[in-house]
Amino acid sequence: MLLNKTLLKTLIFSILITFGLSTQISQALAADISFGGVIPGGGVIHKNILSMRELKYVDMVPQHTDFSCGAAALATILKYAYNQNITEDNVIEGLLKVSDVDVVRQKGFSLLDIKKYTQSIGMRGRGYNVKPGTLEKIHIPTIVLLNYKGYKHFVVLKKASADKAYIADPALGNRIMNRSEFDADWNGIVFAVVGQGFDRESPLLKPNEAVTARNLVDTYRPLTDAELFDYGFVRSDMLGL
pLDDT, tens only, 54-87: 778 999 999 999 889 999 999 999 999 999 999 9
Mean local confidence (pLDDT), 15-42: 49
Q: Is the pLDDT of residue 121 over 60?
A: yes
Domain segments of the chain as ranges: 55-207
Using DSSP's 3-state secondary structure scheme, residue 224 falls into coil
Q: Which of 112, 119, 86 is nearest to 194 (CA)?
A: 119
8 Å CB contact between 110 and 98: no
Lowest mean per-residue pLDDT among 26-35, 99-108, 128-137, 212-221: 212-221
Q: What is the pLDDT of residue 69?
A: 95
Separation between Cα atoms, residue 33 and residue 72, nearest integer Å: 30
- Tell me the pLDDT band of 155, cut-offs 50, 70 and 90: very high
| pLDDT score at 15 | 62
Output b/e per residue, 42-58; b: 16+ Cβ within 10 A: eeeeeeeeeeebeeebe
Strands 31-36 and 44-49: antiparallel
Contact 66, 76 (CB under 8 A): no
Instruction: Write down the pLDDT at residue 7.
Output: 63
3.90.70.10, 3.30.110.30, 2.120.10.30, 3.90.1200.10: which CATH number matches 55-207? 3.90.70.10
Q: Which are the catalytic amino acids?
A: 69
pLDDT bracket for residue 212 (50, 70, 90)? very low
